Amino acid sequence: MTLAADLSASDESTSHPEPATPQDILRRAHDIAATLVQRQAETEQRTYYAEDTHRAFAEAGFYRLLVPRRFGGYEFGVDTFFQVVKILARACPSTAWMYCLGATHAIPAATLFSERAQQEIFQGTDFIAPATIVPGGSAQRQDDGTWLLNGTWNYCSGSPYATHFIGHTLTATELDAPPIPVLFIAPRSQWRRLDDWGGQLGLRGSGSHSITIRNGRVPDHFVLPGSHISEVDVTAGTPGRALHGNPQYGGGQLSYMVLEAAVLAVGIAQGALDAYADLMRSRTTLLPPFVSRTENVDYQFWYGEAAGMIATAEAAADNAVKQWQDMAAQGPGAFTREQDIRLTTICRHVIKLCWHAVEQHIFPTAGSSAVRHGERIERVWRDLSMLQSHSGFGVFLPTVANRDLARLRFGAASGVFS
């Protein structure tokens, strides 16, 4: 897709869906999800979901679920948003990943930025903003108060139809002083998407292209020097909590990001279990006596074991979402760094349970014909494998997060090898 087409698609996302309740939104999600299963191959080939799917999301109001009511959004709870994500992920992992990691960032945008910035950010009401946490490129403050941005940021899931991009960079403050992180948001007019996604093992249709900025300019209120989205301290309150009076615009940002992946993993694994159930009903055992797999004790065990693991993961993910909401509602001081990281450790085990259910029980016993390229279970295996390779889940959560949780709990210093 060209830059012009990208911008056109982004402009079309601004819509005026009918007023809705959370129940209406979930019904719409189920209706749209029913159309996605058979389109997984074309989504992977295109590397992002189709424009008619994008329009359906816009017409259903999905891009404004988390946008504050003051700016024309629904301002629904994050629990409703995550239920939509789970429904979509059960049908098409790539589509759900791309949708989630674009629409979800209305939360940090409405939490961290000033009222002036939010009035401009949410001007079109529909909001889609990929975000990356790895600093890249450069940011230089100009004499007129604007910031000059240059660089390329990879893995920008949701970029094909995005209205904005949230990124990080480093900037120098004083001579010989180490650079500080800078969080910024850039409107679509200031960047372009590169055609560099689709050759990866999984999530090939997730629209996770790179974004490049060349001499882009953003106003000072679109830049937060000294901020990194994963390290924001919300215990003193946030601009969004004060502006909107809604505690979900004051919750921990690190755990919120990891909750996204946990909910996606649950939905993806549920899709694999659906496909496995279809095989149970339609296939027989490989060895005599030949009976339906539904009547075979081994297949019954494998299905039950996978189903139990995925159900446990779902229960943990749903509870983690509730804990996130409850802590945000208790007031700024409740959402400490320790609590933020504790929730991330729950999410890590949710992802592990989903992966092990697919990798240990569903994939090996489905049969070779069911895991050929393009088959639903094969695709889920690739997609969850790709999720496992994400540095945040494969490196940060099992190492840094675990250690930091213990240090914060016991007031310990950084560990050293003796």
Nearest to 319 by CA among 90, 21, 24, 82: 82
Measure the CA–CA gap between 36 and 38, rounded to whole angstroms. Answer: 6
Name the token pair of 190: 């200031």
Round to the nearest angstrom and report the end-to-end CA distance of the chain: 55
Give the β-pairing of 138-141 and 223-225: unpaired
Q: What is the pLDDT of residues 130-177, one digit of tens each?
A: 999 999 999 999 999 999 999 999 999 999 999 999 999 998 877 778
pLDDT value, residue 69 = 96
The DSSP secondary-structure symbol of 17 reads: P
**Whole-number Å distance between alpha carbons of 216 and 150:** 7
What is the Cβ-side half-sphere exposure of residue 86, based on CA atoms within 13 angstroms?
22
Say what the pLDDT of residue 417 is. 41
Alpha-carbon distances, residue 119 vs 129, 147, 219, 228, 237 (angstroms): 16, 19, 13, 22, 20
Which tokens sit at 300? 């019954």
> HSE (CB half, 13 Å, CA atoms) of 181?
13
Helix 253-282 to helix 376-389 angle (10° resolution) is 160
> Which residues fall within 8 angstroms of residue 233, CB to CB, at 6 or more apart?
337
At a CB cut-off of 8 Å and minimum separation 6, what does 360 contact?
Answer: none
The pLDDT of residue 17 is: 65
What does the block give as tokens for 402? Answer: 């675990």
How many other CB atoms are there within 10 angstroms of residue 42's CB atom? 11
* pTM beyond 0.85: yes
H-only helix segments in 180-252: 239-244
> What pLDDT is stored for residue 210 in this prediction?
98
- Sheet with strand 138-141: strands edge to edge: 192-193, 211-218, 147-153, 138-141, 164-171, 180-187, 223-225
CA distance linking residue 205 with residue 43, whole number of Å: 5
Residue whose token pair is 């910031």 = 147
| Residue 4 pLDDT | 41
The pLDDT of residue 393: 83
Task: Give the percent of the chain with pLDDT over 70.
Answer: 94
Using DSSP's 3-state secondary structure scheme, residue 309 falls into: helix
Q: Which residues of the chain have pLDDT under 70?
A: 1-17, 414-418
What is the model's pLDDT at position 3? 43
